[in-house]
Amino acid sequence: MKKTLSVLALLVFTLNANAQHLEIDSLKKVVDTSKDDTTKAITLSKLGSFYVYFKPDSAMIVSQQAMLLSKKLKFEKGEAIALDLQGSVLQSMGNYPKSVVVLLAALKLNEKRNDPIEMIANLTSLGSSAAMSGDHQQSIVYTHKAKVLAIKNHYDLYIMVCNVNIGDSYEKLNILDSARFYTQQGYEQALKLKDTDFIAITNCNLGNIYLKMKNYGLALGYYHTAIPLFKLVNDDDTYCEAALGMAKVFKALGKKDSSLYYAHEAMRIGKNAGFVAKMLAASTFLTAYFKEQGDIDSAFYYQEASIVANDSLFSQEKTRELQTLAFEENQRQSDIEEQKILEGERNRRNLQLAGIAVFIPTFFLFILGLSRRRVKPRTIEFLGTLALLMVFEFIGLFTDPKVEELAHHSPAISLLILVAIAAALVPLHHKAEHWVKSKLSPAKHHDKGEAGGKANA
């Protein structure tokens, strides 16, 4: 069964080809015309989600654009959504370990933002990556966490998805009672939501479970229900799985003609749709079938088909490796671009700090010059206090990043350090303020001038 990835993937999953094309055009228009950069960042990720399965390279490029824009805006939600998309793309390329790393980064961001809906999507995708890499136990752990959050937030769609995925993992582990329990729950929720796709998928999965239980009557019934639904929603991938399941059931029941019919059907659909893994499964079944029948020619024919399909899978694996290398290079270039942006921000900050550092003493000299002229004392005192405030605020501005770094971004430790600095600066501030008022007071300069005049007289 195909695993459901994320909220974005769910949106794509429910649209047909024509609707997808219209949606892609609409999203491109938003990207080109939107004046709100946060909207543009999210729209880029939505656009990339439509490319995940048939243009993964394009999906990755779009996701990196969304990531760069989000980081530039310090828009964490946009970063998290872009990371989730990248995880889905890596998953579609077959790079499951890298997919897990990226999805965990997205999950960490969404935990920080306390966004349960996005956390559910991340955890579900993590479960899918683990399952696709063969680690079904870890898949269950991730997906169960997603289900708990989905229940807490009354997110019925994801409760259904989680139940189906957990059931599928238990079936792969041959823990069939648990597989049946969760898949049945998913089936009932699919009926409640009137979700034809998942009604078909859960029927197929229940067929797989009962086939392993050797309850061929129930398995046949579920497969029979699933197949017309797969035709209705154009899900050829899972249709192949159901057809091959039917072939296995009929073989176990000794109905050779029916078994051959559905095996050939799985082979035909898989070949027409380009589902190499499904072609390999069907040709392997047919090879074994004809060997048992003593039909060496037919067995040899399907064995050759198996070899071709296996070689094609190997070729696809190489293609995925090349796509992964391309992704990593794009990511490297994206990181370089991000570093340039950060470096530019640091340079701008340093220039501003240098400008302030030059301005403050210049401002003091200006006030000192005014104090020697006939200017109202209150004006001089105000300007002197203002200059003093600038000095102390400049100290805070300069030390804040260093305090954050020293405290390892811990609010509690940062607060303690800032309180300690303030405790040292407050008395100093009062003394400095008193000194400034006494030294810059025009009245004192005036008195001194008068005293000097009298002495001369």
**Which DSSP string corresponds to 15-39?**
S-HHHHHHHHHHHHHHHHH---HHH
Q: Judging by beta carbons within 10 Å of its beta carbon (0-12, 13-18, 19+), is residue 312 exposed, middle or buried?
A: middle
What pLDDT, on a 0 to 100 scale, did the predictor assign at position 56? 80
| Dihedral angle sign, alpha carbons of residues 231, 237, 240, 241 | negative
Give the pLDDT confidence score for residue 446 in this predicted structure: 47
pLDDT at site 12: 45
CA nearest neighbour of 24 among 1, 60, 50 = 50
At what angle are helices 76-93 and 37-49 packed, to 10 degrees? 10
The pLDDT value recorded for residue 447 is 47
Q: Are 214 and 173 in contact (CB under 8 A)?
A: no
d(CA 285, CA 244): 8
| 228 Cβ contact list (under 8 Å, min separation 6) | none
- Alpha-helix runs per DSSP H in 74-135: 76-93, 96-113, 116-132
The predicted pLDDT at position 449 comes to: 45
Token pair for residue 344? 């530019």
pLDDT the model gives residue 303? 84
Question: Rounded to whole angstroms, how far apart are CA atoms 306 and 300?
Answer: 10
Q: What is the mean pLDDT of each run of 10 residues along the chain (457 residues)?
A: 49 54 82 88 89 81 89 90 90 84 93 93 93 92 96 95 96 97 97 94 97 96 95 90 96 94 92 82 90 87 78 60 62 68 77 80 74 68 71 71 68 70 63 62 49 43
Residue 233 structure tokens: 């929603």
- What is the distance, to the nearest Å, from the Cα of residue 362 to the centroid of all Cα atoms in its chain? 50
- Give Cα 296 to chain centroid, integer Å: 51
Crossing angle of helices 296-371/377-406, nearest 10°?
Answer: 150
Smallest Cα–Cα separation from 285: which of 252, 236, 313?
A: 252
| Cα distance between the two ends of the chain | 108
Alpha carbon distance 68, 73 (integer Å): 9
